[in-house]
Amino acid sequence: MTRFPLGLIVLIVVSLLIFFGMAQRALDRMRLTDKGALAVIVALIVGSFINIPIPGMRVPLEINVGGALIPVALAVYLLAKAGTGKEVTRALISAALTGVVIYFISTRMMSGLGEPSGGALGFIDPLYVFPIIAAVIAYVAGRSRRSAFIGATLGIILWDAANYFYMLQNNATNALKSIGGAGAFDVIVISGILAVLIADLIGETRERLQGGPSSEGKPDALLAGLRKPEFDKKDRKKSLADKERPDGLDQEEVDRLEN
Amino acid sequence: MKTKQFHIIVGLCCILMGLGIIGRLSFAERTLPAWNPASILAGEEVDHSVGKCINIVDETGNMISQACRGVATGDEIINAEGKHYRVVKVDKDKAIVKSLGVDKRLLAWNEFYTDERLAMAAAAPKKGAVGVYHTHSAEAYVPTDGTESIPFKGGIYDVGQAFVERLKEKSGGEIIYDKTPHDPHDNAAYQRSRRTATKIMQQNPIAMIDVHRDGIPDPNYYSAKVADMDVSMLRLVVGRQNPHMQANLDFARRMMSYSNKVHPKIVKEIFMAKGNYNQDLMPTALLIEAGTHTNTKQQAENGVALFADAVPVVLGIEGGPATQAPGQGTGGGATGDGGSGGWKAVGWILGLTLLLGGGYILISTGSLKGLSDLGKEFTNYLGPLKKIGTKKSATKTKDQPEKTAGNADRAVIDQRDDVTED
C-alpha cells in the first residue's frame, strides 16, 4: 500500500473507527443488545455492496441493502416493538413530517443555487441539515430517540421517493435512481444515527436537569421501553442471586419513579 | 444531584465549545439573506441559480475573485500566485477579504514540482483508476447550448467527456466515468451524487473528481489564452464542512501547483467554500469548476483537457504514450510528504471528537463514572472481563439485604441511573 501516504491511511482508519463507534453508540439505544448493534453495523457494511435492481421500471431504480433496506427494517422492527399505538402514530407522523420538511427545504430553500452551493440554508450542508430536522421533529412529536431514528430514516426514503417521481415526470430514462446507494455512508444511515444522537442530547440534557424522566401517568409499556434488553437479563440474574426479593426491583423502581 | 448538574453543564460546555470551533471554522458571522417566505413559495430562487454575482475584494477595493451567491464569512481563497485570503465580511453583493499572506504549502509544492531531481527520484509509475462524475448534471453553457440548464443532459457531459478522454490518453490507467444524473439542480443533489460517488469508490479509484461549471455572469473572469488555445480557466473547490478538509486541500494544492507548472494559469484559484461536496468520502476528492455558464463549451473543453494533462503526474499514474518525456517522474503521490494534510486532518478529527464525544458522554451518562463505564462496556466484548464484572456485582447484591435499608435505597437509585442511561 504505497499508494497513499501514511497520514492519509491513518486519517481514513481514524474516521472510519469514529464513525462506526458513533453508529454503535446510537444503535445501542434501538432496542438492540450491544452485540445486536454490532451485528447491524456489520450488516450495514456488507449490505453497502449489494444493490437490488427493481425490474420493470421506466426510470431504472435500485435499492441498496446496507443504505436503505437495513435501516428501514430496523425502523419497522422498532415500530413493531413500540410500547403503545400512540408511540407508533407519533413516530409515523414525525416521519411524514420530516419527509415533507426535508423536501420543502431541499427543493425550495436550498435550490437554484449558485456554484458550488448556497441558498437560504446554504451555510450548512444538507448532510447535516437533514438529521437536525429529523431529530427536532421527532423530539417534539414523540420525545423519543427511537422515533428520531424512524423519522429520519423513513422521512428521507419519502424524500427519495419524491425525487423518483420527479424523474418519472420528466421521463429521465437516462437516469438511475439509487436509494441508499452510498451504503453505510448514505444520507439515510448518517441521518438516522445523527438524529438519534441529537435527540438523545436534547432529551438527556432536559431530563437530567429535571432530575430523571417523568413517568407519572405513563403506561407501563412505555416505561418498560426505557429499559435496555440487557437490564432484563441482569434483573433475572439478580433475582436468582437474591431470593429474598424475587423480581422486586422492577416494581419498586416504577413505584419510586411515580412518587 | 448538584454534582450531576455540574457534570451536565460541563458536558454542555464541551459540546458548545466543539460546535463553536466548528462554527468559527465553517460558517461564523455569515450575513444571511433577508427572510422572504413568499419567494420560497414562489420558487423564485431557481431563476437566480446563475447570474447573481458577488465581487470578492480586499480592503482597498482590489478585485480578488468573483463568486455566485453563497459566499460566507470564513471562506478562503488561494490564488495561482499562492496568495491566501479569508472572507471577513459579506455584504449584499460584495465580500471583503483580508490577506493571510502567502500559502507556504503551495509554494513548497511549486518548489517540489520544479525540482527535477526530486521528480526523477520518485518511484516508477503505478496503476490506478480515477473516478469522474457530475453532481449538477443539468449545467450547460449559454453561448453553445442556448440555455444555462438542460435537465438530465446538460452540456457539462461534453466537458466531462473531453476531460475523461484526455485523461485516458495521458494516464494509460482506467478512468471510471459515471454519467448518472442527479437532478434537480439543488444543494441536496450532493446527497444523490453521494451514491454515485460511493459506487465509483467500490472500484477502488485513487482520486475522484466532480466536474461542474460556475454561475458568475462575467465570461472574462474565466477566459484566458493558455497553450495557444482559447480556454476557460478552472477553479478548484474544497468543502470546509468536511472532516477530511485539510487532506483535500493539500490534494488541491498539488493539483494547482503542477497544472500551473505544465500550463501556466490554467487553474485560477482554490476556493474553500462551506459545504461538504462528498469530500468526506475520500481525502483525494476534488470539485472543479470548468469555466462559467457564459463561456463557450469549447473553451471549457479545452480548459479541462489541459488540466487533465497534469492529473496523472500528480497522482503518480502517468504512463500513456504522450507522457514519455524524461524528467517528468511521478509526483507527490509517491512521497510521504503528501500526507501532512492527512495528519493535520487526523489531529482535528481526534481533537473535536474528544471534545464533542466527551461532552456527549457526560450528558448522556450524567457522571464521570459514565466515562469509565464506557470502557467497561467495550471490554465486555473481550469476554473474560465480563465474567469478572458480573461476579463482582453478584456478590455485591448478595451482601446488600444484610445492610441497612438506606443501602437498598441506594441500589434502587443506582438501578434507576442505569435505566435513565438507556
Kindly state the average pLDDT of the residues B352-378: 70
The pLDDT assigned to A121 comes to: 53
Place of cell 471577513: B88
A241 in a structural domain: no
In terms of CA atoms, which chain A residue is nearest residue B127? A3
State the cell numbers at B211.
466536474
Answer for the pair B331, B119: CB distance below 8 angstroms, yes or no.
yes
Given A111, A205, A249, which is nearest B185 (Cβ)?
Answer: A111
A249 in a structural domain: no
Kindly state the average pLDDT of the residues B40-55: 50
Cβ partners under 8 Å of residue B369, min gap 6: none
Total domains present in chain A: 1
Kindly state the average pLDDT of the residues B321-346: 48
Looking at the DSSP bridge assignments, the partners of residue B237 are B271, B287
A259 in a structural domain: no
In terms of CA atoms, which chain A residue is nearest residue B37? A109
Better-predicted residue by pLDDT, B150 or B420: B150
Q: Is the pLDDT of residue A145 over 70?
A: yes
Better-predicted residue by pLDDT, B74 or A4: B74
Number of helical H runs and strand E runs in chain A: 10, 3
CA distance B398 to chain A (A): 6
Q: What is d(CA A120, CA B40) in angstroms, rounded to the nearest whole number? A: 9
Q: Is the pLDDT of residue B242 over 90?
A: no
Q: What angle do CA B163, B166, B168 make, to 5 degrees?
A: 105
Percent of chain B topping pLDDT 70: 69
Closest by Cα among B218, B408, B227, B250 to B342: B250
The pLDDT assigned to B157 comes to: 95
Residue B293's alpha-carbon distances to B137, B287, B290, in angstroms, are 13, 16, 9
Query: What digits encode the pLDDT tens for the residues A18-59?
Result: 888 888 888 887 888 888 888 998 999 999 999 999 888 888
Q: Is the pLDDT of residue B239 over 90?
A: no
Range name among A11-20, A51-60, B171-180, B238-247 with the lowest pLDDT average: A11-20
Q: Is A54 exposed, middle or buried (0-12, 13-18, 19+ CB in 10 A)?
A: exposed
3 state DSSP class of B276: coil
The pLDDT assigned to A10 comes to: 79
The pLDDT assigned to B290 comes to: 93
State the average pLDDT for chain A. 78
Kindly state the average pLDDT of the residues A212-236: 62
Q: What is d(CA B103, CA B73) in angstroms, rounded to the nearest whole number? A: 19
The pLDDT assigned to B386 comes to: 45
A219 in a structural domain: no
The pLDDT assigned to B162 comes to: 95
CA distance A63 to chain B (A): 11
3 state DSSP class of A251: helix
Global pTM exceeds 0.90: no
Cβ of B191 within 8 Å of Cβ of A130? The answer is yes
Q: What is d(CA B132, CA B130) in angstroms, rounded to the nearest whole number? A: 7
The pLDDT assigned to B108 comes to: 87
A242 in a structural domain: no
Kindly state the average pLDDT of the residues B298-306: 94
Cβ of B8 within 8 Å of Cβ of A120? The answer is no
Residue of A19, A63, A106, A117 to mutate, interface with B, max B Cβ within 10 Å: A117
Residue B116's alpha-carbon distances to B99, B110, B267, B371, in angstroms, are 32, 11, 22, 53
Given A2, A120, A253, which is nearest B419 (Cβ)?
Answer: A253
CA distance B166 to chain A (A): 23
The pLDDT assigned to B102 comes to: 92
Better-predicted residue by pLDDT, A219 or B274: B274
pLDDT tier at B369, thresholds 50, 70, 90: low
Query: What digits encode the pLDDT tens for the residues B10-37?
Result: 888 888 888 777 766 654 443 333 344 4
Given B1, B47, B48, which is nearest A211 (Cβ)?
Answer: B1
Q: Which domain holds residue A106?
A: 6-209
Angle between helices B340-365 and A187-210 (to 10 degrees): 40
A83 in a structural domain: yes
Q: What is d(CA B48, CA B68) in angstroms, rounded to the nearest whole number? A: 9
A160 in a structural domain: yes
The pLDDT assigned to A52 comes to: 92
Place of cell 422572504: B36
State the average pLDDT for chain B. 76
Q: Long-range contacts: A226-229, Cβ < 8 Å, 24+? A: A226/B419, A226/B420, A226/B422, A227/B419, A227/B422, A228/A33, A228/B422, A229/A31, A229/A32, A229/A33, A229/A36
A131 in a structural domain: yes
Percent of chain A topping pLDDT 90: 14
* A106 contacts in chain B (CB < 8 Å): 186-188, 191
Kindly state the average pLDDT of the residues A93-111: 82
